[in-house]
Copies of this chain bind each other. A is one copy, B any other.
Amino acid sequence: MQENIERLEEMIGYRFKRKHLIEEALTHPSCDNGISYERLEFLGDLILDAIVGITLFKKNPSASESFLTDLKSAYVNRKYLQKIGEDIKLHKCIQYRGYEVPHLDNFIEGIIGAIYLDSGWKSAETFVKRFILNKKIEPMQNYKNLLSSIARKEFKTEPVYQVISEKGPPHKKIYTVKVKIHGKRYVGTGKAGNKKDAEMSAAEELLRKLGLK
């Protein structure tokens, strides 16, 4: 673990005063050794949301609330955070059991929680600005909302989502969701590590099949 911690500290340019915090943040629940990133992930998720939201709010003084919501989603969504995890080679620093590398997005949130507890808001903000807010990206299209409003306007109904399957161990679940619009023959299917993302990608597929995307 010692080595993993040093590798990470070098990668992110931050040295932890309290090593037990980063040890926790780098430990996947599958290790089953009494510590795991889960509580830190809870904390880091909220802190990340707030830092990203506050920064975007200040940077975009005339943007609407819905633009800010979509842009914030783009910076905090699981896929984007997973990519950040890959960029900083997080898979080389984490502890887990099993053959497959776990999702890295949860670790990113855990690390943010650990930095916050170790030395406060400013340090967490520095990390978020350096690794997450450093890229210019497009607001995330909310395909569920888009599909809903089209279904309402064009077909006078609402899309129906159903979770078809939920596979894998607790910390590496894959949800498969399908979405239909009553009276239309097309079905959109989406897979992801959480229901919301699976629904979003199912909605995106259905929009594409309907020729609306």
Contacts and interface: CB of A to CB of B under 8 A. Distances in A.
Interface string A185-201: 00000000000000000
Contacts of A69: 42
A162 B163 contact: no
Max chain B Cβ within 10 angstroms of own Cβ: one of A42, A54, A68, A161: A42
A160 interface: yes
Q: Is the interface of A mostly helix, strand, loop or mixed?
A: helix
Interface of A: 38-39, 41-43, 46-47, 49-50, 53-54, 57, 63-65, 68-69, 121, 148, 152, 158-164, 166
A65 B25 CA distance: 13
B43 A46 contact: no
Contacts of A42: 53, 57, 65, 68-69
Contacts of A63: 39
A38 B50 contact: no
Given A152-B166, A163-B148, A166-B158, A68 B39 contact: yes
A57 B69 CA distance: 25
